[in-house]
Chains A and B, each alone.
Chain A
């Protein structure tokens, strides 16, 4: 059995930031990720980030991953990294079971930060399982990480930030986007992204949904239709688009299995993507010593995931007995950054969601 002070599950923007901030105070950390590299979804992001300088604004996601990795190297004596390692269970006594290279490894940490992220939601319509229908994240992985095109033509479902950004990335990679549709009467994503899409001549069809997918063994055509103000399909409004790719980007749901297993108090909060853990201002769940950060605590942007990671790392290290003269300042800085990222009209939904689960 391996022992450590802090185990961080998930090496995306939240987990990486948590590892860096906890190690900066002196904590001994094991950082576990199931994929072959750290960075999570950051490595697929070719667009520049928003926010302020502290959240790496104007830097592309893929390059932010590089910056975090460099920071991590500074603490290589305190942080042990386990890659291609899947956490399969967290037992009642706090022992973490990991599968790595077909071996079963047990780790006993004093505290845990769960930063497992989120997975893509699905949309219900006939033939929605046809090959050629992908999650937006899968398309990003395929084209931006592996350099393989998903197909020739794409219809994108969802005009939130992910739908808009992935559409733009598809065009960057030389793949034709025929249309973006969204069930909502309004475009959910930032206007900057939507304007870029419009300038490229891609129609954004609001109040539209997918009625049917057609194809034999792979997608050939989709039938779309209009929705009325009560989000009901308008009879007779159906039309077809020939396409070999349909990309689904209708939101994410937090990957909370390990929190459920631990018995953390959970609450259903639609604004945050589904069931999320009840937590305090230190991002500690209802179980002492188990912290959360990033999308698993509520689906937001990578920018806030990084700040939450930093905060959870500081708080977990402090609870382990580590301290520094500027610890309170650092914590307050994180809280201020989070407030600023969640401010204004865009952050309204997140603020309302968080108010229901923060104790």
Chain B
């Protein structure tokens, strides 16, 4: 859900771009964190815990807590709270610890 009106702040968002999350196409703003675009689209589950695969969301927003690790353009363990959204990005739910290529 995007904040359309704010009494103090104005948001200079980038142009609208499309990205794919787990096979479905979504719209976000260029340059915003991937997690913000997912959040605006109502997607709250980002990462998963290693042992019990418990769903994890957005916790710290500044790349500290590693609760939002996902696969982006094939690369695992990307912190989507700081990684910037670009046109055509492919974002996937990560299962396990990810593989180094």
| A151: nearest chain-B partner, CB-CB | B1
* B-chain residues with CB within 8 Å of residue A142 when the two chains form the complex: 36, 39, 58, 61
Nearest Cβ on chain A to B58's Cβ, whole angstroms: 6
A120 at the interface (CB under 8 A from B): yes
Q: Mark B54-68, 1 if CB is under 8 A from A, else 0.
A: 111111111111010
Once bound together, how far apart are the Cα atoms of A84 and B65, in whole Å? 17
Question: Does A60 lie within 8 Å of B8, measured CB to CB?
Answer: yes
**Residue in contact with A137 in the complex, picked from B2, B61, B82, B84, CB distance below 8 Å:** B61
**Residue in contact with A138 in the complex, picked from B9, B45, B58, CB distance below 8 Å:** B58
**A135 and B60 in contact, given A146-B33, A148-B40 (Cβ under 8 angstroms):** yes
Question: B8-36: which residues lie under 8 A (CB-CB) from chain A?
Answer: 8-9, 11, 13, 32-33, 36
**A217 and B44 in contact, given A34-B63, A142-B36, A142-B39 (Cβ under 8 angstroms):** yes
Question: Does A149 lie within 8 Å of B2, measured CB to CB?
Answer: yes
Once bound together, how far apart are the Cα atoms of A92 and B60, in whole Å? 30
Once bound together, how far apart are the Cα atoms of A287 and B89, in whole Å? 45
* B-chain residues with CB within 8 Å of residue A130 when the two chains form the complex: 55, 57
Q: In the complex, how many residues of chain B place their beta carbon closer than 8 angstroms to a beta carbon of chain A?
A: 35
A interface: dominant SS: loop
Question: Does A174 lie within 8 Å of B5, measured CB to CB?
Answer: yes
A251 at the interface (CB under 8 A from B): no
**A134 and B57 in contact, given A147-B2, A147-B11, A148-B2 (Cβ under 8 angstroms):** yes
Q: Mark A302-335, 1 if CB is under 8 A from B, else 0.
A: 0000000000000000000000000000000000
Once bound together, how far apart are the Cα atoms of A286 and B66, in whole Å? 32
Nearest Cβ on chain B to A49's Cβ, whole angstroms: 14
Question: Does B3 lie within 8 Å of A147, measured CB to CB?
Answer: yes
Nearest Cβ on chain A to B6's Cβ, whole angstroms: 6
Q: Mark A155-176, 1 if CB is under 8 A from B, else 0.
A: 0000000000000000011100
| A128: nearest chain-B partner, CB-CB | B59
Question: Does B44 lie within 8 Å of A146, measured CB to CB?
Answer: no
* A-chain residues with CB within 8 Å of residue B64 when the two chains form the complex: 119
A35 at the interface (CB under 8 A from B): yes
Q: A134-B58, A173-B6 are in contact. List 8 more A-B contacts (CB 8 A).
A: A119-B64, A129-B67, A138-B81, A143-B3, A146-B36, A148-B1, A148-B39, A150-B58
